[in-house]
């Protein structure tokens, strides 16, 4: 149970900066930012909050001898609290007969959820401050601590990190050729192939998140800390939201760069909308999402609310569809088992795509292709797709970001590689003194 007090704010940018300074005192936190002040609106018709900040822990749940996703599911029965956390991509091994043996220098647990001591819920410039009943400070005191924080600032262009690709361009092109051979044989229709870029370097993750948010505002941005592990994410994609019995998924497939002027930008968006390849990718994933949702939904309740919509972000145009359904189970574990990992980050058929991804990729994805979000009292929830993200382990000063793209029969390997570089550009600029490294 929580104590609550409400306050108001005038400026979202100022709130973001002061909240980040306030969070520096916490070893475990989750900051979810919809960037509603500067971002496209497609996601916000479904969003419950503009910002969510959770810090401190009353209870923690992660894989162990006595803890599994099933036991966490039992904790959620009759849930009257809040939980924040994540699911890593390798949670797939929990649900299917799959393994992961690739390199992993971040080492996230398979999943992690915590019941926070303090929560900030921000909507329409109103802030509800919630504090657990056993918290040392009440809502008013926490708010005063926040108000006394100096806004976080950073020095633009101070990063000079040396970025290294885990595989070369030639190796990438060779893998795409092999994957297309599997597609021709009928092993699968589509696969999301991912590659890692990494560095051994110190990072100031708080400043990195603020700069990334300003460079590439996105409706599902997330900043997460678990001890010495950090996620800095500018995700544009919703994995799954539950609101009452309604489930909403918004898969993204189809990407184009932004133009240098209005006419070029319009033409690039139009070309994306009319591209047979991009539309086929998106529709294949929509069909996969429909199939996943049908396993846990009322008959005939799965609907396509929007197909292949085009939305413009700071760096790219994206093709986004919206699929909804009426859920017939209250089990968080069963919902996740039916839908995770998200089809936009695997391919179709899903299991075969995950097997081949493991075979051809060289790095464990970790939180990339996983999900960060919250579970509210009553078990409504909202989770993103972790893409456009930087993972950082402060203990060994290891930086990692991954990018991927859908490979289909129509894919051009050279164009797929270029698309990966476009997707990575915001983080490349963040780490390389404002200049693209690749």
* 8 A C-beta contact, residue 212 and residue 431: no
CA atoms of 280 and 153, how far apart (whole Å) = 43
* 8 A C-beta contact, residue 237 and residue 384: yes
pLDDT at 433: 57
223 belongs to a structural domain:
yes
Q: What is the CATH number of the domain that holds 211?
A: 3.60.120.10
**Element containing residue 349 per DSSP (H, E):** none
CA atoms of 221 and 365, how far apart (whole Å) = 18
190 is annotated as an active-site residue:
no
Boundaries of domain holding 377 = 2-243+329-431
402 belongs to a structural domain:
yes
Q: Which of 308, 249, 311 is nearest to 281 (CA)?
A: 308
CA atoms of 14 and 307, how far apart (whole Å) = 36
Helix (H, G, I), strand (E, B) or coil at 208: helix
**Element containing residue 170 per DSSP (H, E):** helix 169-185
* 8 A C-beta contact, residue 332 and residue 76: yes
* 8 A C-beta contact, residue 272 and residue 319: yes
Q: How many domains does the chain have?
A: 1
- Long-range contact set of residues 276-282: C-beta below 8 Å, sequence gap at least 24: 276/410, 277/408, 277/410, 277/411, 278/253, 278/254, 278/319, 279/254, 279/308, 279/319, 280/408, 280/410, 281/190, 281/253, 281/254, 281/406, 281/408, 282/251, 282/253, 282/254, 282/307, 282/308, 282/319, 282/321
pTM greater than 0.75:
yes
Catalytic site residue from 196, 237, 333, 358: 237
**Element containing residue 304 per DSSP (H, E):** strand 303-312
420 belongs to a structural domain:
yes
CA atoms of 211 and 316, how far apart (whole Å) = 18
Q: Which of 84, 79, 33 is nearest to 55 (CA)?
A: 84
Residues contacting residue 230 through CB under 8 Å, at least 6 positions apart: 203, 205, 223, 224, 390, 391, 392, 393, 394
10 belongs to a structural domain:
yes
* 8 A C-beta contact, residue 33 and residue 17: no
Residue 93's CB: how many other CB atoms inside 10 A? Answer: 15
**Element containing residue 64 per DSSP (H, E):** none
DSSP letter (8 states) at residue 432 = B
The string of DSSP letters for 238-282 reads EEEEEETTEEEEE-EEEEEEPPSSHHHHHHHHHHHHH-HHHHHHH
Residues contacting residue 34 through CB under 8 Å, at least 6 positions apart: 43, 44, 47, 49, 50, 51, 219, 220, 221
pLDDT at 431: 78
pLDDT at 214: 84
293 belongs to a structural domain:
no
Strands 303-312 and 316-326, sheet pairing: antiparallel
Our CA dihedral for 37, 39, 41, 45, rounded to 10 degrees, sits at -60
pLDDT at 45: 64
Over its C-alpha atoms, the chain yields an Rg (Å, rounded) of: 21
296 belongs to a structural domain:
no
171 is annotated as an active-site residue:
no
* 8 A C-beta contact, residue 207 and residue 152: yes
33 belongs to a structural domain:
yes
Q: What are phi and psi of 99, to 5 degrees?
A: -135, 165
Residues contacting residue 401 through CB under 8 Å, at least 6 positions apart: 196, 197, 198, 368, 389, 390, 391, 424, 427
Give buried/exposed letters for 289-299 (b at 16+ CB in 10 A, else e). Answer: bbbbbeebbee
* pLDDT tens, per residue, the chain with 438 residues: 899 999 999 999 999 999 999 999 999 999 999 988 775 555 446 889 999 999 999 999 999 877 889 999 999 988 889 999 999 999 999 999 999 999 999 999 999 999 999 999 999 999 999 999 888 889 999 999 999 999 998 765 545 678 889 999 999 999 999 999 999 999 999 999 999 999 999 999 999 999 888 888 899 999 999 999 999 999 999 999 999 999 999 999 988 889 999 999 999 999 999 999 899 989 999 999 999 999 999 999 999 999 999 998 887 899 999 999 999 999 999 999 999 999 999 999 999 999 999 999 999 999 999 999 999 999 999 999 999 999 999 999 999 999 998 899 989 999 999 888 877 776 777 777 554 333
pLDDT at 183: 97
* 8 A C-beta contact, residue 407 and residue 178: no
Structure tokens at 210: 């603020």
3-class SS letters over 2-24: EEEEEEECCCHHHHHHHHHHHHC
pLDDT at 159: 55
Catalytic site residue from 229, 253, 364, 429: 253
343 belongs to a structural domain:
yes
Structure tokens at 278: 């991009």
């Amino acid at each position: 149970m929580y104590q609550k007090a409400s306050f108001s704010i005038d400026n979202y940018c100022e709130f973001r900066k002061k909240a980040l300074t306030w969070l520096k005192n916490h070893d475990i936190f989750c900051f979810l930012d919809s960037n509603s002040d500067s971002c496209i609106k497609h996601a916000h018709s479904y969003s419950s909050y503009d910002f969510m900040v959770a810090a401190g822990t009353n209870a923690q749940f992660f894989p162990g001898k006595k803890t599994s996703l099933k036991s966490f599911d039992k904790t959620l029965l009759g849930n009257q609290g809040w939980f924040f956390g994540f699911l890593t991509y390798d949670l797939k091994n929990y649900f299917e007969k799959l393994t992961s043996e690739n390199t992993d220098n971040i080492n996230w647990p398979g999943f992690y959820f915590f019941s926070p001591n303090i929560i900030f819920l921000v909507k329409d410039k109103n802030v509800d401050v919630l504090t657990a009943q056993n918290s040392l400070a009440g809502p008013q005191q926490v708010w005063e601590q926040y108000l006394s924080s100096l806004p976080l600032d950073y020095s633009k262009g101070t990063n000079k990190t040396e970025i290294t690709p885990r595989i070369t361009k030639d190796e990438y092109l060779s893998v795409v050729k092999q994957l297309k051979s599997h597609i021709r044989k009928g092993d699968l229709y589509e696969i999301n192939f991912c590659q890692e870029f990494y560095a051994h370097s110190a990072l100031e993750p708080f400043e990195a998140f603020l700069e990334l948010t300003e460079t590439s505002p996105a409706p599902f941005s997330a900043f997460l800390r678990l001890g010495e592990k950090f996620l800095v994410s500018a995700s544009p994609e919703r994995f799954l939201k539950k609101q009452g019995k309604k489930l909403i998924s918004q898969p993204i497939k189809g990407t184009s760069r932004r133009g240098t002027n209005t006419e070029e930008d319009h033409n690039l968006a139009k070309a994306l909308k009319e591209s047979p390849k991009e539309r086929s990718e998106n529709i294949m994933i929509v069909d996969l999402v429909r199939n996943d949702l049908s396993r846990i939904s009322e008959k005939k309740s799965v609907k396509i609310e929007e197909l292949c919509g085009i939305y413009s972000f700071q760096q790219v145009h994206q093709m986004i569809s919206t699929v909804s359904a009426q859920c017939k189970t209250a089990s968080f574990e069963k919902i996740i088992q039916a839908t995770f990992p998200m089809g936009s980050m695997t391919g179709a058929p899903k299991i075969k795509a995950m097997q081949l991804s493991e075979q051809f990729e060289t790095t464990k994805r970790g939180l990339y292709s996983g999900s960060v979000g919250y579970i509210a009292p009553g078990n409504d929830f909202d989770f993103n797709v972790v893409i456009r993200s930087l993972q950082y382990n402060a203990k060994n000063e290891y930086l990692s970001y991954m990018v991927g793209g859908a490979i289909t029969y129509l894919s051009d390997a050279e164009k797929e590689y270029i698309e990966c570089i476009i997707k990575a550009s915001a983080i490349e600029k963040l780490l390389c003194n404002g200049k693209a490294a690749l």
